[in-house]
C-alpha cells in the first residue's frame, strides 16, 4: 500500500477502533459470572446493532475495493478482517478476556445489579434505534428501493469527458432517488474520488443520511483548479426538464413500469403504494418522487402538463389511485391533472390499471391485480 494511502487507512482504522471503546466498556459491566468472547459478541450485536451494522458495512466496502484491485491485476491493499474476528482482535476485547480481568470481574460480581443494568441498556438501545431508524426512514421517504434499467446510462454520462457541473449535479440528484447496489457504489466512489467539493460533500451527506458507512475525505491541499471549487444552485423549472426530455439527453432514456395518477391529498397513501410496488420489483413514476427538482408547484404551467404526458409515454402502464379525493360518486374527476393524465393515457391507448379505494365495482378500469395491504394507524 502506498505510504500516503496507508497512513490515511491506518489513521481512519485507529479512530474507528477508538469509537468502540465506550460500548465495549459498557458491555464489560453486564457480562455473566463466567464469560467467553462469544458473550461479548452477542451482547455487542444486541445492544449496539447500529455500530455492528457499520462494522459489517465497513468490511464489505474495503473487501469490495480489494476485490476490484485483484480483478484489474493489482495486489489487495486493505485486507479487512471479517466482522466477528475484527471485534475479537480489538485491544479492548483482548483486555476483557485476560484471565486477570475475568478474576476481577468475578470478585465484584453481583447478578442482581447485572440484570438491572442489562434491562436499562436494552431499553436505551430500543429507544436509540427507534430514533436512528426514524431519521433514516425520513431521509429515505422519497427513495425507491429498486435498480432502474437505465441507471448505467446515467453513471456513464457522469464520467463522460466535458460534462459540466450542472449536468453532474442533475445525475447525482437522479441517483439519490434510488437505493440499490449500483447507486450506493456510485456515491461511495464520488466520496472517495470526486474533486469537486460540492458534489463530494453531497455524496457523503446522502450516504450518511440513509445509514451507510462513509468517511468524509478531506479536501485537496494546494492550488485548486476552477472545477474543484465550482458550484451550482441547480434551480430548475419545468421548461428545463421538457427541453432535456425532448433533446438527446439522459432524461429521455428513462422508462417506468407504472405512472401513478393520483391526488396529492393522498400523498401518504401513494408513498405506501410505491414502497409496496418496489417490493414487487416495479419501478414507479410519481412526479413528486421522480421530478421534484424540476416540477415545483409554484412553477406549474403548460410545460408541466407536457412533461407528465411524456412520462406517461415512458411508462408501460398507468396506475390510477381512485379515492374520495379524486372522484365523487358519479365518477367525476375533482382534479384537472388526474383527468388530463387519464384522458391522455386513454388517447394513446396506454393500459390503465386501478386501485379503487372507494368501490372496485364502480371503477371503469381494470382492478390492480396485486394485493397491497397497509397498516391502519388511525
- Model pLDDT for residues 133-146, shown as the tens digit of each residue: 999 999 999 999 99
Which of 341, 133, 311, 322 lies closest to 238, judged by CA?
311
Give residue-wise pLDDT tens across range 58-103: 999 999 999 999 999 999 989 999 999 999 999 999 999 999 999 9
- 183: cell is 447507486
Average pLDDT, the chain: 90
Domain contains 258:
yes
pLDDT of residue 357: 85
Alpha-carbon Rg for the chain, nearest whole angstrom, is 26
Residues 12 and 45 in one domain: yes
Domain contains 102:
yes
Give residue-wise pLDDT tens across range 205-234: 999 999 999 988 776 666 778 888 899 999
Give residue-wise pLDDT tens across range 161-198: 989 999 999 999 999 999 999 999 999 999 988 999 99
Inter-residue contact 38 to 45 (CB < 8 Å): no
pLDDT of residue 377: 42
Give residue-wise pLDDT tens across range 254-298: 999 999 999 999 999 999 999 999 999 999 999 999 999 999 888
Domain contains 114:
yes
pLDDT of residue 285: 98
Domain contains 334:
yes
Instruction: Tell me the pTM.
Output: 0.87
Give me the residues paired with residue 214 across strands: none
Domain contains 373:
no
Residues 130 and 90 in one domain: yes
Residues 95 and 170 in one domain: no
pLDDT of residue 378: 37
pLDDT of residue 7 exceeding 70, the answer is yes
pLDDT of residue 130: 97
Distance (Å, rounded) from C-alpha 309 to C-alpha 303?
Answer: 10
Of the residues 139, 165, 190, the one at which a domain ends = 139
- 377: cell is 394507524
pLDDT of residue 372: 45
pLDDT of residue 359 exceeding 80, the answer is no
In whole angstroms, what separates CA 20 from the centre of its chain? 25
Confidence grade of residue 368 (pLDDT, cut at 50, 70, 90): low
Of 90 and 371, the structure prediction assigns the larger pLDDT to 90
Residues 256 and 356 in one domain: yes
Confidence grade of residue 12 (pLDDT, cut at 50, 70, 90): confident
Inter-residue contact 13 to 1 (CB < 8 Å): no
pLDDT of residue 329: 64
Residues 188 and 291 in one domain: no
Residues 48 and 105 in one domain: yes
Residues 279 and 330 in one domain: yes
Domain contains 377:
no
pLDDT of residue 298: 87
Domain with 303, as residue range(s), is 238-367
Task: Give the residue carrying C-alpha cell 460534462.
Answer: 163
Considering 341, 349, 353, 375, which one is annotated as catalytic?
341
Residues 183 and 69 in one domain: no
For 282: left if phi > 0, alpha if psi spans -120 to 50, otherwise beta; the answer is beta
Of the residues 106, 139, 172, the one at which a domain ends = 139
Distance (Å, rounded) from C-alpha 125 to C-alpha 220?
Answer: 39
Of the residues 229, 250, 269, the one at which a domain ends = 229
Give residue-wise pLDDT tens across range 309-346: 999 999 999 999 988 898 876 667 888 899 999 999 99
Structural domain count, the chain? 3
Domain contains 146:
no
pLDDT of residue 297: 85
Check which CATH number belongs to the domain holding 333 and give it.
Answer: 3.40.50
Residues 246 and 225 in one domain: no
What average pLDDT score do residues 149-169 get?
Answer: 93
Residues 159 and 269 in one domain: no
Residues 45 and 133 in one domain: yes
pLDDT of residue 268: 93
- Encode the chain in three state secondary structure: CCHHHHHHHHHHHHHHHHHCHHHHHHHHCCCCCCCCHHHHHHHHHHHCHHHHHHHHHHHHHHHHHHHHHHHCCCCCCCCCCCHHHHHHHCHHHHHHCCHHHHHHHHHCCCHHHHHHHHHHHHHHHHHHHHHHHHHHHHHCCCCECCCCCCHHHHHHHHCCCCCCHHHHHHHHHHHCCECCHHHHHHHHHHHHHCCCHHHHHHHHHHHHHCCCCCCCCCCCCCCCCHHHHCCCCCCCCHHHHHHHHHCCCHHHHCCEEEEEECCHHHHHHHHHHHHHHHHCCCCEECHHHHCCCCCCHHHCCHHHHHHHHHHHHCEEEEEEEECCCCECCCCCECCHHHHHHHHHHHHCCCEEEEEECCCHHHCCCEECCCCCCCCCCC
Of 2 and 208, the structure prediction assigns the larger pLDDT to 208
Active site includes 341? yes
Residues 13 and 110 in one domain: yes
Domain contains 375:
no
Amino acid at each position: 500500500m502506498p505510504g500516503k494511502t496507508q497512513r490515511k487507512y491506518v489513521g481512519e482504522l485507529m479512530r474507528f477502533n477508538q469509537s468502540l471503546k465506550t460500548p465495549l466498556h459498557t458491555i464489560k459491566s453486564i457480562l455473566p459470572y463466567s464469560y467467553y468472547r462469544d458473550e461479548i459478541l452477542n451482547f455487542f450485536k444486541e445492544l449496539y446493532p447500529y455500530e455492528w451494522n457499520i462494522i459489517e458495512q465497513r468490511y464489505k466496502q474495503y473487501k469490495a475495493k480489494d476485490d476490484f484491485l485483484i480483478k484489474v491485476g493489482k495486489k489487495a491493499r486493505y485486507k479487512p478482517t471479517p466482522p466477528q474476528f475484527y471485534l475479537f482482535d480489538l485491544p479492548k476485547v483482548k483486555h476483557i478476556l485476560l484471565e486477570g480481568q475475568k478474576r476481577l470481574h468475578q470478585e465484584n460480581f453481583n447478578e442482581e445489579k447485572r440484570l438491572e443494568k442489562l434491562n436499562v441498556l436494552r431499553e436505551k438501545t430500543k429507544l436509540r434505534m427507534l430514533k436512528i431508524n426514524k431519521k433514516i426512514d425520513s431521509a429515505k421517504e422519497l427513495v425507491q428501493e429498486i435498480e432502474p434499467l437505465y441507471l448505467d446510462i446515467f453513471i456513464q454520462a457522469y464520467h463522460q469527458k466535458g460534462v459540466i457541473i450542472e449536468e453532474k449535479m442533475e445525475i447525482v440528484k437522479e441517483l439519490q432517488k434510488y437505493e440499490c447496489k449500483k447507486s450506493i457504489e456510485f456515491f461511495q466512489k464520488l466520496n472517495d474520488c470526486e474533486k469537486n467539493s460540492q458534489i463530494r460533500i453531497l455524496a457523503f451527506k446522502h450516504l450518511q443520511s440513509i445509514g451507510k458507512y462513509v468517511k468524509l475525505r478531506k479536501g485537496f491541499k494546494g492550488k485548486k483548479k476552477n472545477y474543484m471549487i465550482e458550484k451550482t444552485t441547480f434551480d430548475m423549472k419545468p421548461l428545463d426538464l421538457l427541453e432535456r426530455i425532448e433533446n438527446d439527453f439522459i432524461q429521455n432514456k428513462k422508462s417506468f413500469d407504472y405512472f401513478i395518477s393520483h391526488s396529492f391529498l393522498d400523498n401518504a397513501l401513494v408513498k405506501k403504494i410505491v414502497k409496496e410496488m418496489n417490493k414487487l420489483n416495479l419501478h414507479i413514476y410519481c412526479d413528486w418522487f421522480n421530478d421534484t427538482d424540476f416540477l415545483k408547484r409554484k412553477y406549474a404551467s403548460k410545460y408541466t402538463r407536457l412533461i407528465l404526458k411524456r412520462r406517461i409515454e415512458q411508462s408501460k402502464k398507468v396506475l390510477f389511485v381512485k379515492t374520495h379525493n379524486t372522484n365523487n360518486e358519479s365518477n367525476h374527476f375533482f382534479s384537472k391533472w388526474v383527468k388530463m393524465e387519464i384522458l391522455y393515457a386513454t388517447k394513446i391507448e396506454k393500459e390503465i390499471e386501478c386501485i379503487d379505494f372507494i368501490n372496485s365495482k364502480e371503477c371503469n378500469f381494470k382492478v390492480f391485480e396485486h394485493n397491497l395491504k397497509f397498516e391502519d394507524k388511525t
